[in-house]
Structure 1
Amino acid sequence: MELQQEENGKQFKRELNLLDATLLVVGSMVGSGIFIVSADIARHTGSAGWLILVWIIGGFMTLTAALSYGELSGMYPKAGGQYVYLKESYNPLTAFLYGWSLFAVIQTGTIAAVGVSFYKFLAYFIPSVSEDLVLFSIGSFKVSPAQVLAIGLIFILTYINTKGVKGGKWIQLIFTLTKIASIAGLIIFGFVFFKSDVVSINWSDAFSFKKILPDGSFLSYENLPAFGGALASALVGAIMSYEAWNNVTFVAGEINNPKKNIGLSLLLGTLLVTLIYVLLNLMFTMVLPLTEIATTEKDRVGIAASQAIFGANGTIIIALLIMVATFGCNNGLILAGARVYYSMAKDGLFFKKTAKLNKHAVPEFALWIQFVMASILCLSGKYGDLLDMITFIAVLFYVLTIFGIYILRVKKPDVERPYKAIGYPVLPAIYIVLGLSFCILLIIYKPYFTWPGLIITLIGIPLYYWNKRTTVAE
């Protein structure tokens, strides 16, 4: 077995093959979001065609980014992935700001949100674990059973992953394959038992871009800026549902033949998820009127669609499916995220203990501090808001990373590139244009989606220099 030698004498074990890496991509991306965010997208776009088009745009952006990352992963097949790419393309500060944002909210906030989602849907079977109940309160600060139990779930998955990559790998394999099969079954049943009158209503005026109001009525957008703001808002949900596709790059130190398999797993995984998302939303438009998609209770489109297909049993079926999806998703996020903090610590930019591997060849301390941060966000109850607001930062770092391909072609032309970005220089440029357009639209029309994420990221600047000063003093 090929090993990656570390300075402290411990070694990463390369125990993940191409299938494992691909399932990590898929498993980390597909959680509960795909069954919920289509309601918000429908409200902003007002037509079946635009609902599908938003998912296609999000998938195209993700697939284009994944193809570009293939070149970087071949050049630097090291633990930490995107953090390493940013460091090599720009400087340690840029890389640290990404790693800090990941730790502060991108990864840990997603772990918290996905953990609570598991219990949201378990509450259909055990009402006492609902997010709507109050377990205890201190003044205006309230904590639900779902929040506390989510911390327990994150603890269990973290503990399993401290015992070696093999345990996390098997959880990922079993739950992701089950998730893919279940969603495929749901899509097939929806296509078989589609409602012709619903299809006719939804697709008779498929590309009329308008707003759906809470009462189900439509409102036309008055001008181009309003159209741009609505499209950007619609894309937020889709892009967040595609988020975490890059997690496989974080575990490069544990993947067999990483120069080949990381890029290939990114291609296969993002392509499969894009196909799943587009087909699933197409199925939604075949069983639910668009106004019902937009106004369904608590945005639970997946439940409404499953009820339309299976009747009363639909709630049970979709709840079980989402529980499988969120459990596997959280395992992938927990497994991958800790490797970034490990890489930061190796550069003297994070807690020193984070740079150590335990006897099972995994960064145990990094896993536990990730658990602590995710638990804090669980208790805060603000993980959902933070995730919406951090979308801007996540896309901005994707743009920076992909632009790094152009920088490295000039800066380090002699570094081996076993895999070159497909469609270079056109496809990476398209992603950069789309990503920047998305960010600019949010800055102009939805500033509340941008400034909190910017503040969280910029807090990393003084932290970076404090870390540097502390390292020098030692």
Structure 2
Amino acid sequence: MMECDKEMENVHERKLSSNKKMEVNDFMDGADSSITKSDIFENHGGTKLKREMGLISGICLIVGTMIGSGIFISPKSLLESSGAVGPSLIIWTLSGILATLGALSYAELGTMITKSGAEYAYLMSAFGPIPAFLYSWTSVIVTKPSSAAIICLSFSQYATAPFYPNCKPPDIVIKTLASAAIVAITFLNCLSVKLAAYAQNFFTAAKLVIVVVIIVAGFVLMGQGKTQNLQNTFDGATTDFGSIGLAFYSGLWAYDGWNQLNFVTEELQNPFRNLPLSIIIGIPLVTVCYVLMNIAYFTVMTPSELLQSQAVAMTFGDRVLGVMAWMVPVFVAFSTIGSANGSCFTAGRLSYVAAREGHLIKVISFIHVKLLTPSPALIFNCILSIIYTIPADIETLINYFSFAVWIFYGMTMLALIVMRCTKKDLHRPVKVPIVIPGLVMIVSVYLVLAPIVVNPELPYLYCFLFIMAGLLFYIPFVHFKISFKFIDVLTKHIQLILEVSPTEEYVE
């Protein structure tokens, strides 16, 4: 029986190899002579992404992506929505707890289904291709590139602030610099996975420097008795159902990134160990930092002053650090660009995995034959991100981004609960109490419905209609597999220009 099984495996491998060679031969027909077939098959018989991320890189990806622009933008909008200092600090804490609970559920999913793509892979496994496609449609076209745009716009605001000390930098300057940052990050990620990981580690270390500086300065000021803004902290607190939901949107936007490691599971060394460890270490660390940073802000600013500040961390630095105030914009710029780097890294992997499953044009799933990076997926995300720098209102982007994201977070929690019943035989190295995904799912329903019930606006309807519009593409192009000849021509030219080829099939 064992010999029969082995022979069947050999036949299967020969079929995969034959199919791969046919695709490569098509590529080689018009390819540059500097690319050889040995380049394409030098990695164990084919091109594929390599496992080059260890535990430290995993923690840095989570921490580096979460601590980005949010903590330097969200304190203002969160305080405005919550109405007072006390509720804002509670929401910061609860948002961190919710992110931790969600990430623990993702740890079970990521060690049970070891494909990259996070929600995409889990929805595919639990509910089939339609929900997975709608997620990839929404994320690839809207949420991922808009997130990168928001982060890079924040980077531009802080990077240009020292050059416009008495006024707000012109929009054209901010948007041009943001677009340049997106292009630079994309180029780095296309060049090398290791280089992108090293850059992420560096930016994470840099952002922790400014976090520690702000927290330590806050403790020093509290020791000096500057605690008046931390008294009577519930005066003026809102009890409005929708406003509290919007406050959570702002807080959870700052924590967004808790699921980023699940997008690159196929590139993580020993994912059964490093995925849950990175989550357990990274997210509580970020939660503590966020709460202490907000307390530090209130040691030097009243709530009204914080609401009037164009850049909260900049105002804090000007009042506390004196001649060293230059540290704040420099290190905040490092922080935001590091978060953008992590977002670019994971967004490219989502597009790559969705294309590999046939839910995007196939060329997006190709990788560079020598550098082994998913450059077509990264470039595709880059173009969309630059488009999303055009809108000027960052807070509006955050609200609608959060609305769409939490629809799919809730569906993913439901997927975990469903697979507990439908896929009992799957190996689960990590298994969380079922109440955890249940609680996160209930909260996600609240976050989706609260703003709509209290303050219904047409953009929420437009967002929902956009998600469902994905069916207009799924039915003809995925289900019925309608294709156009110009796609093959386009694919061939992209292969020649970018020097990319099809990847090996991923097997769990």
Q: Same fold (TM over 0.5)?
A: yes
AA at the equivalent of 1:100: W
Q: Does 1:284 align with 2:284?
A: no
CA contact (8 A) 1:150 1:378 kept: yes
Q: Does 1:65 align with 2:102?
A: yes
Q: Provide the rounded CA distance (Å) in 2 between the counterparts of 1:321 and 1:435.
A: 33
CA contact (8 A) 2:364 2:376 kept: yes
CA contact (8 A) 2:178 2:389 kept: yes
Q: Secondary structure at the match of 1:12?
A: coil
Of 348, 363, 383, the residue aligned with 1:353 is 363
Of 167, 180, 193, the residue aligned with 1:165 is 193
Of 215, 218, 232, the residue aligned with 1:205 is 232
Task: State the match for 1:149 in structure 2.
Answer: 177
Q: Provide the rounded CA distance (Å) in 1 between the counterparts of 2:49 and 2:383.
A: 24
Q: Provide the rounded CA distance (Å) in 1 between the counterparts of 2:394 and 2:132.
A: 23
Of 215, 228, 236, the residue aligned with 1:187 is 215
Q: Provide the rounded CA distance (Å) in 1 between the counterparts of 2:244 and 2:295.
A: 19
Q: Per-residue CA shift, 1:322-378, capped at 9, x if unaligned?
A: 101111111111111111111111111101101112122221100111111111112
| 1:81, distance to aligned residue in structure 2 (A) | 1.9
AA at the equivalent of 1:407: V
Alpha-carbon spacing, 1:289–1:386, altered in 2? closer, same or farther (3 Å): closer
| 1:127, distance to aligned residue in structure 2 (A) | 4.2
Q: Per-residue CA shift, 1:108-165, capped at 9, x if unaligned?
A: 011112112222112133449x97426xxxxxxxxx1221222222111111111221
Q: Per-residue CA shift, 1:286-342, capped at 9, x if unaligned?
A: 222222223x233x222222223224643x222112101111111111111111111
Q: Does 1:269 align with 2:296?
A: no
Of 381, 384, 404, the residue aligned with 2:415 is 404
| 1:383, distance to aligned residue in structure 2 (A) | 5.9
Identity fraction in percent: 26
| 1:76, distance to aligned residue in structure 2 (A) | 1.1
Task: State the match for 2:470 in structure 1.
Answer: 460
Q: Provide the rounded CA distance (Å) in 2 between the counterparts of 1:236 and 1:126.
A: 31
Q: Does 1:344 align with 2:381?
A: no
Q: Secondary structure at the match of 1:361?
A: coil
| 1:68, distance to aligned residue in structure 2 (A) | 0.6
Q: Provide the rounded CA distance (Å) in 2 between the counterparts of 1:328 and 1:150.
A: 13
| 1:455, distance to aligned residue in structure 2 (A) | 2.9
Q: Per-residue CA shift, 1:248-280, capped at 9, x if unaligned?
A: 111111110112212221222211111111111
Q: Per-residue CA shift, 1:61-116, capped at 9, x if unaligned?
A: 11110011110000111121221011111121111111111112211011112112
1:99-178 equivalences under 5 Å are 99-127=136-164, 132-133=169-170, 144-178=172-206
CA contact (8 A) 2:246 2:399 kept: no
Alpha-carbon spacing, 1:39–1:442, altered in 2? closer, same or farther (3 Å): same
Q: Does 1:297 align with 2:309?
A: yes
Q: Provide the rounded CA distance (Å) in 2 between the counterparts of 1:265 and 1:450.
A: 34
Q: Does 1:376 align with 2:387?
A: yes
1:57-96 equivalences under 5 Å are 57-96=94-133
AA at the equivalent of 2:448: C
Of 440, 452, 458, the residue aligned with 2:449 is 440
Alpha-carbon spacing, 1:133–1:240, altered in 2? closer, same or farther (3 Å): same
Alpha-carbon spacing, 1:388–1:77, altered in 2? closer, same or farther (3 Å): same
Q: Provide the rounded CA distance (Å) in 2 between the counterparts of 1:131 and 1:459.
A: 38
Task: State the match for 2:493 in structure 1.
Answer: none
AA at the equivalent of 1:174: F
CA contact (8 A) 1:348 1:471 kept: no
Of 299, 313, 329, the residue aligned with 2:339 is 329
Q: Provide the rounded CA distance (Å) in 2 between the counterparts of 1:160 and 1:275.
A: 31
AA at the equivalent of 1:204: Q
Unpaired runs of at least 5, structure 2: 1-15, 21-45, 485-508
AA at the equivalent of 1:340: L
AA at the equivalent of 2:242: G
AA at the equivalent of 2:309: E
AA at the equivalent of 1:273: V
Q: Does 1:430 align with 2:439?
A: yes
CA contact (8 A) 1:288 1:308 kept: no
Alpha-carbon spacing, 1:286–1:132, altered in 2? closer, same or farther (3 Å): closer
CA contact (8 A) 2:116 2:349 kept: yes
AA at the equivalent of 2:210: S
Cα root mean square deviation, aligned: 2.3
Of 218, 242, 245, the residue aligned with 2:255 is 242
- My pick for the range that moved more, 46-55 or 60-69, is 46-55
Task: State the match for 1:317 in structure 2.
Answer: 327
Task: State the match for 1:21 in structure 2.
Answer: 58
CA contact (8 A) 2:161 2:169 kept: no
| 1:197, distance to aligned residue in structure 2 (A) | 6.0
Q: Secondary structure at the match of 2:162?
A: coil
Q: Which has the larger radius of gyration?
A: 2
Q: Provide the rounded CA distance (Å) in 1 between the counterparts of 2:236 and 2:291.
A: 19
Q: Per-residue CA shift, 1:357-404, capped at 9, x if unaligned?
A: 212222110011111111111234466533321211211211111121
| 1:470, distance to aligned residue in structure 2 (A) | 6.0
CA contact (8 A) 2:203 2:338 kept: yes
| 1:38, distance to aligned residue in structure 2 (A) | 1.1
Q: Provide the rounded CA distance (Å) in 2 between the counterparts of 1:334 and 1:82.
A: 17
- My pick for the range that moved more, 17-26 or 358-367, is 358-367
Q: Provide the rounded CA distance (Å) in 1 between the counterparts of 2:463 and 2:401.
A: 5
Of 255, 263, 266, the residue aligned with 2:268 is 255
Q: Secondary structure at the match of 1:416?
A: coil
Task: State the match for 1:51 in structure 2.
Answer: 88
Alpha-carbon spacing, 1:51–1:473, altered in 2? closer, same or farther (3 Å): closer
Q: Provide the rounded CA distance (Å) in 1 between the counterparts of 2:210 and 2:313.
A: 13
Of 362, 376, 386, the residue aligned with 1:365 is 376
